[in-house]
Amino acid sequence: MGRYILLRHREIADLHRLEVYVRHGGYEAWRKALTTMTPDQVIEEVKASGLRGRGGAGFPTGMKWSFVPKDVFPKYVVVNADESEPGTFKDREIMEGNPHQLIEGALLAAYAIQAERVYIYVRGEYRSVARRLEAAIAEAYAAGFIGRNVLGTGYSVEMAVHLGAGAYICGEETALLESLEGKIGHPRVRPPFPATYGLYGKPTVVNNVETLANVPPIILHGAAWYRTMGTEKSPGPKIFCLSGRVRRPGNYEAELGKITFRDLIFGEEYGQGLLEEGRAVKAILPAGASAPMLPASALDTPLDYESVQAAGSMLGSASIIVLDDTVDIVWAAYKMVRFFQHESCGKCTPCREGTYWLRRVYERIVAGRGRPKDPELLESIARQMAGKTLCPLGDFATSPVLSSLKHFRREYEDYLRRAVETPAGVPA
Amino acid sequence: MLREKYEQEIEAILARYPVKRSAVLPLLYLVQREYGYCTEEGIREVAEITGVSPTEVREVVGFYTLFYDHPIGRHLLQICDDLPCALRGADELVAHAARRLGIRPGETTPDGRFTLETVMCIGACHRAPAMQVDLEFVEHVTPEVFDRIVEDLSRDGA
Ligand SMILES: Cc1cc2nc3c(=O)[nH]c(=O)nc-3n(C[C@H](O)[C@H](O)[C@H](O)COP(=O)(O)O)c2cc1C
Ligand code: SF4
Ligand code: FES
């Protein structure tokens, strides 16, 4: 077996072509499941593997599948390829380089819950990526891996790509389902959860692209093999998206828990250090804009769900943005707040109003017109949002605010002192 | 209009879903391809095909950033200025682009050729600064790369 489980196209040329994928063991797991395993056995194997969702929440995949009622039809599998968290570009690489592994994983999920249809919801900005995926799906249809009576087993399943149209909130699974139904992307009140009330009100499994790309190797080689990678609670490989002030940004595949932030940023086979000589790491964003930033003292934290949580943040989608000591933390927090204000869907008041006010206060601070009490004001706005919003976006929006104030309050105070000493508009 | 011109494409779209309403987004893309933006006529056609009210279709157009309810330039230049790109020069690139085109983000050049926008993360942060030109990725964008794009698309017929 090669170095990669997920990014296999990096060592196998033209893996996006079905013929090449098949030559390297592709669709063997699909054949194995269809001809030798019951749907429940597929679920049990994925459960035993310990695979956790790679879309952000880290929920156990096999358990999610087991919540789907057996006796209600039709059922759906929806692949979440909305990938819009700042700093995240892993699903794009899978779809461009290794699309058949995603397709095969989605088929296995469909068989496991006995779904009749799979939709792959791709963000609108990935139109070119979606075309590539559609070409791969067409190949899989032509080869008889998708469609009526697959491989003569009597099981039938359809698959189609659905293009979003620009809205981060549609990555939230219930907003995604609304969008797929042709509506605006407003999250639904949960419960009920998609497992029982999903697309068109039918039982639905929603999984991330990377999650599903893990499934074919699990079915082919078994849960025990899969568990030889990663840690007890976070098994398997993971793609880490590295961006920001590093020399070599990119996607890096590694076992969960086996490398630290420091390895990822400075390792020879990873980021190879900071962009500029003589600089130091100031802060790390472990999961794009959505999880609290960590100071440089967290550099030796292993990259798995439990360790990053223990360090005070979340691994989430593992989109690691590196801020070095050239970066103005208040400005960085402003950029993230601006993102959430732009992406708030407006359905609930605390998030709609809260993100608006946060942005207003940040705008005046970075413009040099901040007021001495602004840090307290930011905290109080954030407190009025946390836990009071319909979906997690409202909470996400508070994390750059509260974490930057916690670790870098001095930088806010510097801004505010300068604002008093040199009111904006008056040259220094 | 749409129905005659794109009959097969529309049939193929509708066939993908058990519920017609799901065709709203794909059909709106078709409208934009045909008319350049989501015109009232196009919105009404989508409403008719899917059985959704024109008001609701209009609401959908308003919600998603890639749908436009007004004419835009023949070429859409979307520069990402979200945090990862901004850590590698995106704000400077936006300023350069605005100077080069003589317009601000959100505006269209008077000849109707270019619309310039700043956008949130487009999934290319490892090749920052990044942009999309008519929804195709252009990555590692320097001011020189940007100028070349503008020149290439400024030739007659482009
Ligand atoms: C605001 C918001 C945005 C999200 N964006 C994404 C996304 O782009 N891709 C994704 O896979 N999951 C995203 N999620 C998580 C999904 O709601 C869902 O948990 C996930 O698709 C489940 O798949 P998994 O179990 O395979 O991770 C987002 C959640 C929230 C609250
Ligand atoms: S928290 Fe924000 S994004 Fe989520 S439903 Fe409320 S307004 Fe919409
Ligand atoms: S921040 Fe620009 S592509 Fe991600």
Residue A357 lies in a domain: yes
Backbone φ, ψ for residue A38 (5° rounding): -80, 160
Do A76 and A164 sit in the same domain of this protein?
yes
Cβ separation A124–B137 shorter than 8 A: no
Does residue A130 register a pLDDT over 50? yes
- Structure confidence by residue, pLDDT tens digits, A216-231: 999 999 999 999 999 9
Residue with tokens 């005659």: B4
Could you tell me which CATH number the domain at B75-154 has?
3.40.30.10
Residue A423 lies in a domain: no
pLDDT-based confidence at A215, cuts 50/70/90?
very high
Does residue A426 register a pLDDT over 60? no
pLDDT-based confidence at B128, cuts 50/70/90?
very high
Pick the last residue of a domain from A282, A300, A324.
A324
Cβ separation A184–B83 shorter than 8 A: no
User: Looking at residue A425, what is its pLDDT?
Assistant: 52
CATH assignment at residue A53: 3.40.50.11540
pLDDT-based confidence at A163, cuts 50/70/90?
very high
Pick the last residue of a domain from A196, A227, A258.
A227
B38 labeled part of a ligand binding site: no
Residue A387 lies in a domain: yes
Q: Which residues contact A50 (CB under 8 A, 6 or more apart)?
A: A60, A223, A226, A227, A232, A233, A234, A235, A236
pLDDT-based confidence at B1, cuts 50/70/90?
confident
User: Looking at residue B98, what is its pLDDT?
Assistant: 98
Q: Are A113 and A66 in contact, with CB atoms under 8 Å apart?
A: no
User: Looking at residue A422, what is its pLDDT?
Assistant: 77
- Structure confidence by residue, pLDDT tens digits, A169-187: 999 999 999 999 999 999 9
Q: Is A335 in the pocket of ligand 3 (CB under 6 A)?
A: no
Cβ separation B84–A339 shorter than 8 A: no
CA of A61 from ligand 1 middle (Å) equals 13
Residue A428 lies in a domain: no
Residue nearest to atom 5 of ligand 1 (CA): A171
The arithmetic mean of pLDDT across residues B3-31, rounded, is: 96
Q: Is A179 in the pocket of ligand 2 (CB under 6 A)?
A: no
- Structure confidence by residue, pLDDT tens digits, B23-66: 999 999 999 999 999 999 999 999 999 999 999 999 999 999 99
Spatial strand order of the sheet with A158-163 comes to: A158-163, A117-122, A76-81, A204-208
Is the CB of A83 inside 8 Å of chain B's CB atoms? yes
Q: Are A230 and A54 in contact, with CB atoms under 8 Å apart?
A: no
Percent of chain A predicted with pLDDT > 70: 98
Residue A125 lies in a domain: yes
Which residues of chain B make contact with A74, given a CB cutoff of 8 A?
18
Q: Is B76 in the pocket of ligand 3 (CB under 6 A)?
A: no
Q: Is A57 in the pocket of ligand 1 (CB under 6 A)?
A: yes
A with B: how many residue pairs have Cβ under 8 Å apart?
134
Do A352 and A244 sit in the same domain of this protein?
no
- Structure confidence by residue, pLDDT tens digits, A342-382: 999 999 999 999 999 999 999 999 999 999 999 999 999 99
Rounded CA separation A79/A133 (Å): 12
User: Looking at residue A77, what is its pLDDT?
Assistant: 98
Does residue B130 register a pLDDT over 70? yes
Beta bridge partners of A288: A286
Do A291 and A363 sit in the same domain of this protein?
no
Rounded CA separation A281/A297 (Å): 9
Residue A427 lies in a domain: no
Could you tell me which chain A residue has the CA closest to the CA of B25?
Answer: A182
Average pLDDT along chain B? 96
CA of A69 from ligand 1 middle (Å) equals 22
Q: Are A289 and A344 in contact, with CB atoms under 8 Å apart?
A: no
pLDDT greater at residue A197 or residue A386: A197
pLDDT-based confidence at A421, cuts 50/70/90?
confident
Residue A2 lies in a domain: no
Distance from the Cα of B39 to chain A's closest Cα (Å) equals 17
Q: Are A153 and A146 in contact, with CB atoms under 8 Å apart?
A: no
3-state helix, strand, coil in chain A (%, to 5): 45, 15, 40
Do A339 and A191 sit in the same domain of this protein?
no
Average pLDDT along chain A? 96
Domain locations in chain B as residue ranges:
2-63, 75-154
CA of A117 from ligand 1 middle (Å) equals 20
Does residue A2 register a pLDDT over 80? no
User: Looking at residue A419, what is its pLDDT?
Assistant: 87
- Structure confidence by residue, pLDDT tens digits, A381-403: 999 998 899 999 999 999 999 99
User: Looking at residue A225, what is its pLDDT?
Assistant: 98
Spatial strand order of the sheet with A319-324 comes to: A250-255, A237-244, A319-324, A281-289, A294-295
Does residue A15 register a pLDDT over 90? yes
Asked, as a colleague might, if the bond just before B129 is cis with ω within 30 of 0, I would say: yes
Pick the last residue of a domain from A227, A248, A280.
A227
Residue A389 lies in a domain: yes
Domain B2-63 has CATH 1.10.10.1590: yes
Do A200 and A310 sit in the same domain of this protein?
no
Could you tell me which chain B residue has the CA closest to the CA of A176?
Answer: B22
Which residues of chain B make contact with A245, given a CB cutoff of 8 A?
87-88
Tokens of A341: 């204000």
The total domain count for chain A is 3
Classify B13 as helix, strand or coil. helix
Q: Is B85 in the pocket of ligand 3 (CB under 6 A)?
A: yes
The arithmetic mean of pLDDT across residues A79-96, rounded, is: 98
Is the CB of B18 inside 8 Å of chain A's CB atoms? yes
Q: Which of B80, B70, B146, B83 minimizes the C-alpha distance to B112?
A: B70
Beta pairing class for B131-133 and B136-138: antiparallel
Report the amino acid identity of residue A217: P
Q: Is B80 in the pocket of ligand 3 (CB under 6 A)?
A: yes
Residue nearest to atom 18 of ligand 1 (CA): A173
Which residues of chain A make contact with B16, given a CB cutoff of 8 A?
160, 162
- Structure confidence by residue, pLDDT tens digits, A266-301: 999 999 999 999 999 999 999 999 999 999 999 999
Q: Pick from A123, A208, A344 the residue to mutate for probing ligand 1's pocket: most ligand atoms within 8 Å of its CB.
A: A208
Q: Is A54 in the pocket of ligand 1 (CB under 6 A)?
A: yes
Do A358 and A391 sit in the same domain of this protein?
yes
User: Looking at residue A428, what is its pLDDT?
Assistant: 42
Do A297 and A376 sit in the same domain of this protein?
no
- Structure confidence by residue, pLDDT tens digits, B70-94: 999 999 999 999 999 999 999 999 9
Is the CB of A250 inside 8 Å of chain B's CB atoms? yes
Residue-range definition of the domain harbouring residue A387 = 329-418
User: Looking at residue B64, what is its pLDDT?
Assistant: 98
Is the CB of A346 inside 8 Å of chain B's CB atoms? no
Do A307 and A195 sit in the same domain of this protein?
no
Percent of chain A predicted with pLDDT > 90: 96
Rounded CA separation A289/A339 (Å): 8
Rounded CA separation A162/B62 (Å): 19
